[in-house]
Amino acid sequence: MIDSYGRKINYLRISVTELCNLRCKYCMPEKGIDKCSHNDILRIEEFLKIAKSFVSMGIDKIRITGGEPLVRKGVLTLIKGISQIEGVNDLAMTTNGIFLKEYAKDLKEVGLNRVNVSLDTLNASKYKHITNGGNISKVLEGIEEAKKVGLTPIKLNVVLIKDFNEDEIEDFINLTKDYEIDVRFIELMPIGALKYWALNRYLSSDVVLEKNKELIKIENADKSSPAKYYKLPNGKGRVGIINPISCKFCDNCNRLRLTADGKIKTCLHSDDETDIGKVLRSGENIDNTIVEIVNSKPKEHNLEQGDYINRTMTTIGG
């Protein structure tokens, strides 16, 4: 599928639940979010139908996210179904890793290719603080298990947070010396109810290169990826930088997002949404809606002009 600006759209991110077992300070308000009515949340077979239509129209890369995807009942059934759709070349998941140890083997068996794990600190008490109670040991055990069963290449997502983890950047980079892992530093984005928290804690990703002059730039074969990649001399893994704020990458954007309540977002930083779940439930064929959605994808976001969205990140999936 080609949008109005000539971009090839081949990537769908599916948020399978807005619920989460953590409360990361930049993502989920401590008291939780106003939940959608249970009936508004798509059923597993509805996610599957929508995914099938998107793949038949040209999507070949799908990511399962949330909320926390591993708290969604039926997630293995969904992954199995998606992995069997002809045309899906890459099926990945973004998870906080808390339940990964228990799920890794089954995830691999039902056809998941790989995982991205979110981890903003390597320190147990800081982890507990930023996630409002999470246990880092579970995440580390989950990563080990994912490695063991072959949910690889594993990528670690590290959100850069001022006065919280800038002193750990080097430790994260050093993980790539010995492990075939991608450590990706992501700039904190002002989103939803926690936008002001994020604005106060924003740290430009420039700090990563300023503090680590030995990093060598490498070519990223995936031109649509928002990450720029670097490597330590002799490093086994890569260091990625994702900077939606200081350097926007809309020109190469290839993605659409499906929320748990059945809305398609064509841009993470826009509140515009199309209720594809409603169209599906009306019994209409959704292919025409997909064409309209792709044609309506905006040229770029306007974050730098202070256009911040209302939905919380946990209902979109990053």
154: helix, coil or strand? Answer: strand
Closest Cα to residue 93, out of 47, 62, 72?
A: 62
How far apart CA 146 and CA 103 sit, in angstroms, is: 9
How far apart CA 234 and CA 255 sit, in angstroms, is: 33
- Closest contact distance (angstroms) between CB of 67 and ligand SAM is 6
CA distances in angstroms from 297 to 63, 112, 176, listed in the order given: 19, 28, 36
- Closest contact distance (angstroms) between CB of 193 and ligand SAM is 11
For residue 75, state whether it binds ligand SF4 (rule: CB under 6 A). Answer: no
For residue 67, state whether it binds ligand SF4 (rule: CB under 6 A). Answer: yes
Is 36 annotated in some ligand binding site? Answer: no
For residue 187, list its beta bridge partners.
Answer: 160
Q: Which pair of tokens denotes residue 154?
A: 């594993």
For residue 66, state whether it binds ligand SF4 (rule: CB under 6 A). Answer: yes
Using the rule CB under 6 A, which residue among 1, 9, 12, 24 binds ligand SF4? 24
88: helix, coil or strand? Answer: coil
For residue 118, state whether it binds ligand SF4 (rule: CB under 6 A). Answer: yes
Closest Cα to residue 258, out of 110, 48, 103, 6?
A: 48
Contacts of 221 (CB under 8 A, 6+ apart): none
For residue 280, state whether it binds ligand SF4 (rule: CB under 6 A). Answer: no
Is 27 annotated in some ligand binding site? Answer: yes
The entry of ligand SF4, ligand SAM, none near residue 289 (CB within 5 to 8 angstroms by kind) is: none
The entry of ligand SF4, ligand SAM, none near residue 186 (CB within 5 to 8 angstroms by kind) is: ligand SAM
Angle value at C-alpha 27, between 21 and 29, nearest 5 degrees: 75
For residue 314, state whether it binds ligand SF4 (rule: CB under 6 A). Answer: yes
Binding residues for S-adenosyl-L-methionine: 26, 67, 118, 189
Binding-site entries for [4Fe-4S] cluster? 20, 24, 27, 250, 253, 267
Give me the residues that bind ligand SF4 (CB under 6 A), please: 20, 22-24, 27-28, 66-68, 96, 118, 313-314
Q: Which residues bind ligand SAM (CB under 6 A)?
A: 20, 26-27, 65-66, 68, 94-96, 118, 157, 159, 186, 188-189, 191, 198, 313-314, 317-318
